[in-house]
Structure 1
Amino acid sequence: MVYIWHDPSEVPADFGPSVVTFGNFDGVHRGHQQVLSQLIRSARLTHSKAVAVTFDPHPAVIHRPESAPRLIMGLEDKLEALGELGLDAILVVKYSLDLASLTAEEFVEQYLVDCLHASHVVIGHDARFGRGNSGDLETMKALGGKFGFEVQVISEFGSEGYPLHDDDGTDRRCSSTWVREALQEGDVATAAEVLGRAHRMRGEVVHGAARGRALGFPTANLASDSTGLIPADGIYAGWLVDEAGKRWPAAISVGSNPTFDGVSRQVEAHVIDRPREAVEDFDLYGQTVIVEFVARLRGMVAYRGPEALVDQMKLDVVQAHQLLARH
């Protein structure tokens, strides 16, 4: 069981000792996983609790709202991904200007020492924390001496057993930026390599214009407030996971569908390979579903009419079926 706390007051007074790290962990990619797996090993060796501290919202939303990056995943998916790694607890700290005003020492004392009773703090070489990002590795080492915790330095690069390379073949550090770049290009395969799993979105299924149903390809349309970074426009093979946990193979459309005028950008998934008797009564409206992107089949194209679009959609479904069968 993973304890998830949304406020320091929820942490039991007798909790600890703990091995702690902190960060945004957007995407919980392989670099994050490498750091956290080493944290967990350290916790087991020292008979301590393995704890990750993360922030919500992303600091950029508070400091630079006009240029804040679209998050790779929503908080619910981040907590699920973190929990699957084997952590004992996750503390979600509300990020605010008050939190940002804490000095490096105040942050460490209040959250890592007084709250989580850290015996070890795991930190990267380039970590920054505290007011104006004034705290760094040397600061943490000094605070460890003052408060009585050890500092373990971990280099977050690639992932053990998974050497990752950029397009030119050189090693590249796993990062949330790399994932965003790949998704913005529609390269969900590279995003999955860096993430260690397929990129996903989560949202409620809402009513759309019903054009897909009229064409013989009914779709589950995600609400505009769905979480998860939307990849580049195009057609993808992937999976739809319903509220019951059932995974359905799907052909996923992202974009405004240029064959029709006046259509806003949307994400919609056409579930394939449903049993004949389930086609008519397959109703996902109102459900919160997960859409996972496995591979991009093609870009978004404007066809001369519905007939040409239907012919292409049939080919998309066949290609998606063949690709997903290999997964």
Structure 2
Amino acid sequence: MSDLPRHRPDPASSTFDLSRPLPARLLGAHVAIGNFDGVHRGHQSVLAATLDRARAEGRPALALTFEPHPRTLFTPDRPVFRLTPPEAKARLVAALGLDGLVVATFDQALASLSADAFVEEVLVGRLGLVGATIGWDFHFGRGRQGSPAFLDAAGRRHGFTVDVVDPFGCEGGAPVSSSRIRSALEAGDLAEAAGLLGYRWFVEGTIVGGDRRGRDLGFPTANMHLAPDCRLRHGVYAVTITIDGERRLGVANWGRRPQFDDGAPVLETHLFDFSGDLYGRHAEVTFVSYLRPEAKFASVAALIEQMHLDGAEARAVLSTIGSGSALDRALAATEGVGEASS
């Protein structure tokens, strides 16, 4: 989406819990429905169709999503690598210009609803929508009995429109999908991931204290614990890091620190030309380029030498990146806004 709306809602004030009544101003909306993990270019085509319909009719545009990811309920022993946790998803939906993100808790009660009950209780009863927009492969209700054709027929009975968006393909013709993006990130292929997403992948979290080893080595770091399901390739990355709305350049290591303890994965980001206490601050790290795999060196001195090389390479890469896509720029306008709330 190259031409994004100039007015973008604040994600912190435009995220709503489906279990609570929606503000009256959002009733009668056109609603995009889906999990939207990644809010990638295929999802963006669904959201754009919703926004176009809503603006043409002077109505609100909403996205309805489900948390946690349905696979968390159905296959808890195989956690899914989440591309966009709820806060990130809210920022993306806001950056794309929709008026709000409605979050439905995906639990056994929701999973047990029949397709008819989902339409009557959720779409009509709670959302009061006038139109639904879905992807071509969207299914819903107990046993996935609700198909696009089923929803279209239900819309005719209940008086709301249904738009079904065709698969969105990228170069080469293969449809854009969350699974393709996960595979790209697992391989450290950030260019592939960004091409499919339409923006540079990012993570958010709180900066925590570490063992201060980076400071002792001459490379103090801001440390973050990512979700246990994160399967980003371990290694060294050129990154940007935003804290309290201020963006800085840096180099980050994501991994287990094989030189020292080979422990639990930690994201350690060294901010260029910065000194100060960042503990407890909220940060966003955007991954720009994969530099090398994590490795154990012959000595700590050899590691330090490589860290200097990594920093120089990261600076060189970051000096040429520009401001990114239109969505990257829209996201930058919402950095530091704060966590979403209902």
* 1:65-120 Cα distance to aligned partner (Å, 9 max, x none): 11131211221111111111111222111111111111111111112112222222
Q: How many residues were matched structurally?
A: 310
**In the aligned structure 1, how far is the partner of 2:288 from the partner of 2:316?**
12
Structure 1: gaps (5+ residues): 159-163
1:253 alignment counterpart? 253
Alignment of 1:64-75 (within 5 A): 64-75=75-86
1:200 alignment counterpart? 202
- 1:262 to partner: Cα distance: 4.4
**In the aligned structure 2, how far is the partner of 1:123 from the partner of 1:262?**
44
CA contact (8 A) 2:93 2:100 kept: no
2:65 alignment counterpart? 54
Give the structure, 1 or 2, with the largest relative contact order (CA under 8 Å, sep 6 or more). Answer: 2
Q: Given the two structures, how large is their TM-score scaled by the length of structure 1?
A: 0.90
Match of 1:284, as an amino acid?
Answer: L
CA contact (8 A) 1:55 1:95 kept: yes
1:102 aligns with 2:102: no
Structure 2: gaps (5+ residues): 1-8, 322-342
Q: What RMSD, in angstroms, separates the aligned Cα atoms of the two structures? A: 1.7
1:315 aligns with 2:309: yes
- 1:49 to partner: Cα distance: 1.5
* 1:174-224 Cα distance to aligned partner (Å, 9 max, x none): 111111001111112211111111111111111212211111001111135
**In the aligned structure 1, how far is the partner of 2:277 from the partner of 2:167?**
44
1:140 aligns with 2:140: no
**In the aligned structure 2, how far is the partner of 1:15 from the partner of 1:90?**
11
Matched residue SS, 1:316: helix
Q: Given the two structures, how large is their TM-score scaled by the length of structure 2?
A: 0.86
Matched residue SS, 2:130: strand
CA contact (8 A) 2:242 2:284 kept: yes
- 1:15 to partner: Cα distance: 4.1
Matched residue SS, 2:211: coil
Task: Report which of the two structures shows the higher radius of gyration computed on alpha carbons.
Answer: 1
- 1:264 to partner: Cα distance: 3.1
**In the aligned structure 2, how far is the partner of 1:39 from the partner of 1:135?**
20
Matched residue SS, 2:81: coil
1:35 alignment counterpart? 46
CA contact (8 A) 1:240 1:249 kept: yes
| 311-320 or 88-97, which deviates more | 88-97
2:218 alignment counterpart? 216
CA contact (8 A) 1:203 1:222 kept: yes
1:235 alignment counterpart? 236
1:176 aligns with 2:178: yes
CA contact (8 A) 2:202 2:284 kept: yes
**In the aligned structure 1, how far is the partner of 2:20 from the partner of 2:209?**
41
**In the aligned structure 2, how far is the partner of 1:173 from the partner of 1:235?**
30
2:55 alignment counterpart? 44
**In the aligned structure 2, how far is the partner of 1:208 from the partner of 1:44?**
49
**In the aligned structure 1, how far is the partner of 2:225 from the partner of 2:61?**
36
Q: Which runs of 4+ in 1 moved over 4 A?
A: none
CA contact (8 A) 1:237 1:324 kept: yes
* 1:244-278 Cα distance to aligned partner (Å, 9 max, x none): 1111101010112222244432211001133xxxx
| 200-209 or 22-31, which deviates more | 200-209
CA contact (8 A) 1:203 1:225 kept: no
- 1:125 to partner: Cα distance: 2.0
Q: 1:221 to 1:14 in 2, by over 3 A?
A: closer
1:21 alignment counterpart? 32
Matched residue SS, 2:290: strand
Q: 1:264 to 1:18 in 2, by over 3 A?
A: closer
CA contact (8 A) 2:18 2:126 kept: no
1:115 alignment counterpart? 126
- Aligned residues with identical type, % of pairs: 37
**In the aligned structure 2, how far is the partner of 1:56 from the partner of 1:150?**
25
2:6 alignment counterpart? none
**In the aligned structure 2, how far is the partner of 1:151 from the partner of 1:81?**
23
